[in-house]
Chain A
Amino acid sequence: MAKRFLFLFITLLGASFIVFMIIHLLPGDPARILAGPEATQQEVEALRHRLGLDKPLVVQYAEFMARILRGDFGKSIVTGKPISALIEYRFVNTLKLSIVGILLSMIIGIPLGILAALHRNSRIDQLVMGFAVIGVSTPIFVIAIFLMLVFSVKLHLLPATSVTGEITLRHLILPGLALALYGAAPIARMTRASMVEVLGKEYIKVAFSFGLPRRIVIYKYALKNALIPVVTVTGLIFGYMLAGAVITETVFSYPGLGRLLIDAIFSRDYPLIQIGILFIAATFALVNTAVDILYMVIDPRLRSPRGETA
């Protein structure tokens, strides 16, 4: 368990380092980049000194980390406004969207996977898995566009109300559904594969041999084992959600961190880019750690040092 937290720490450190290095990896002078092409040489030097860009790299990194941990995310080059206020709102929106996305994908994907596994090699199985493999092959933006057209043409749910900037449940439905369909496909495939494997295990045959009713054997004995790998994959799928959110937000003009990040990249707002990526990477790392811990809770074999998965 401690190892997991250590790894999380190292990952966050590594991620922050990479993010920090963005400015320095770019071709050209970091101070000039931050100041903008119109700034005079004096202004560039002033900025350089102010931001501490003339200090050695290690010191800069330390100062960067200190700033971040204080909550001071710096100022946007483009708007000049502090990033913190902007990021919070957007980040929460993206989080909402990703959570809706992953929950819906599990609600759709897991039962479908179970269904396919129980009717292995039948028409149902082929149909479900057919949809799943197409789902995995479809770009998220195509799903998003398709949904938008279908539901906007019906004028059901507006794609986004960038009008008020307020995000209610209605605004989450379409982008959330797009993410859900995108994530349900790999989850369904994973669930089916896992379920099929578990159903072939000796302990399931033994359970039947003691006369346990079919319902209990499948939905208690088999399912609990089968869901374990699915849970671990969930962390990965959440990453898909975050990444997919970036794209989905663009299609639906949803005010989230993803769209902010893309806009920042286009406007070369490097401080904003750094913070944006850092947020996403940190979230991903934290979720994965949480999933790993959850995995340890679910599978008793991992709790005691003697436990070894066969």
Chain B
Amino acid sequence: MQVFTRLLGERAWLSPQTRLLLRKLKRNRSFRVGAPLVAVFVLLGLLAPLIAPYNPVKGELSHALEPPSTRHWFGTDQLGRDIFSRIVYGARISLIVAVAGILIAIIAGVIYGSISGFIGGWVDEALMRIIDILLAFPDILLAILVASIVGPGLMNVIIAIGVYNFPQFARIMRGAVLAVKESDYVEAARAIGESRVSILLRYILPNSLYPVVVHGTLRSGASILTAAALSFLGLGVQPPTPEWGAMINEAMKYLDIAPQMWVFPSLFLIITVLGFNLMGDGLNDVLNPRIKE
């Protein structure tokens, strides 16, 4: 952590404001706890093939349902698969899902929101009504809806996550566009003939950066939960792919005889999402400062 933050902090090209923000982040308690958790999660996911001692998908039936031991740190499941390896690969799956899903939501939301904000008028009204209708569905329901249409599978989970997060990012982006659209420097830029795209990139995107970053972090945690929920219901990632929610689903039949099957995925889910939530809270505190308590 020290090395990482030192690297960031001493870059000459970082503006003094950015450096001040980074210093504040370092002091923020939520961020200090959350960010390392997220970092561990990301590392687990990225380095899964290197860390996992066993094959996560193929197990030895003779060693089924074993409790944690020195051979199998987290024990084995009903097919003799090493749970630790499955957890590690599960991190990778969750990482992919969250990152891909949120990125889709952000990109779609940015485009949608920018267009809506820029054009304004009744087009803006209409587009925002659509967003409001989408937001009228509870989160998971929207994901279930999408899942019911496109079917199960990893790719579809990503799509579902993208779809159900997209309305909020669209709103944020539109808000940013509206906030800046009428300001003087944008008018000046337009007066000298600067292209709309350029205005978008130079003035509007930076204005929306903070809320998008904060929201993106918080939604990453929520998305991991939703993906796990979908997989738990059987609508998401299908076995034998190791996803934490799916693992808990498989554990349902063995709750009392093999608690290791549900305890470890649950712990990892909680800790990972906790990490994202704390990190998001910290970012929120620093980037959207409120009056001091």
Contacts and interface: CB of A to CB of B under 8 A. Distances in A.
Interface of A: 7, 10-11, 14-15, 18, 22, 25-26, 120-121, 133-134, 136-142, 145-146, 148-149, 153, 196-197, 200, 239-240, 242-244, 246-247, 250-251, 261-262, 265-266, 273, 277, 280-281, 284-285, 288
A48 to B, nearest CB: 20
Given A15-B133, A265-B148, A139 B229 contact: yes
B245 A284 contact: no
B141 A243 contact: yes
A137 B255 CA distance: 22
B138 A141 contact: no
A273 B149 CA distance: 10
20 contacts: A10-B133, A11-B132, A18-B145, A120-B293, A133-B277, A137-B225, A137-B271, A138-B273, A139-B269, A145-B266, A149-B256, A239-B138, A239-B141, A240-B138, A240-B139, A243-B139, A246-B141, A246-B233, A265-B147, A277-B148
A280 to B, nearest CB: 6
Q: Say which size band chain B's interface belongs to.
A: 35 or more
A239 B148 contact: no
Interface in B226-284: 228-229, 232-235, 245, 248, 252, 255-256, 262, 266, 269-271, 273-274, 276-278, 281
Contact of A145 (B132, B248, B293): B248
A141 B291 contact: no
A216 to B, nearest CB: 23
A200 B140 CA distance: 36
A11 B136 contact: yes
B137 A142 contact: no
Contacts of B252: 145, 251
Main secondary structure of the interface of B (DSSP, over half): helix
B232 A133 contact: no
Which among A134, A142, A243, A281 has the highest number of chain B CB atoms within 10 Å? A142
A194 to B, nearest CB: 12
Contact of B248 (A120, A142, A285): A142
A250 B137 CA distance: 20
Interface string B125-154: 000011011001111110011011100000
A247 B141 CA distance: 11
Given A246-B233, A277-B141, 13 more contacts: A10-B129, A120-B293, A134-B270, A137-B271, A138-B270, A153-B256, A196-B293, A200-B293, A250-B233, A251-B252, A265-B147, A265-B148, A284-B136
A247 B148 contact: no
Listed from nearest, the 7 A-B pairs whose CB atoms lie closest are A239-B138, A243-B140, A14-B133, A137-B273, A137-B274, A142-B266, A243-B138
Given A22-B148, A22-B149, A246-B140, A145 B262 contact: yes
Contacts of B167: none
A265 B266 contact: no
A290 to B, nearest CB: 13
A141 B246 CA distance: 11
Contacts of B137: 15, 239, 281, 284
A19 to B, nearest CB: 8
Contact of A281 (B129, B141, B293): B141
Contact of B133 (A11, A136, A148, A247): A11
Contacts of A142: 248, 262, 266, 269-270
B278 A133 contact: yes
Interface string B189-233: 000000000000000000000000000000001000100110011
Contacts of B129: 10
B41 to A, nearest CB: 12
Which among A15, A22, A265 has the highest number of chain B CB atoms within 10 Å? A265
Contacts of B232: 139, 141, 247, 250
A266 B236 CA distance: 12
Contacts of A148: 255
B233 to A, nearest CB: 6
Contacts of A265: 144, 147-148, 235
A136 B145 CA distance: 23
Which among A137, A148, A196, A250 has the highest number of chain B CB atoms within 10 Å? A137
Contacts of A196: 293
Contacts of A242: 138, 141
Nearest to B232: A141
Nearest to B267: A142
A148 B251 CA distance: 14
B255 A145 contact: yes
B190 to A, nearest CB: 31
Contacts of B262: 142, 145
A294 B229 CA distance: 32
Given A133-B274, A149-B255, A246-B144, A140 B234 contact: no
B90 to A, nearest CB: 13
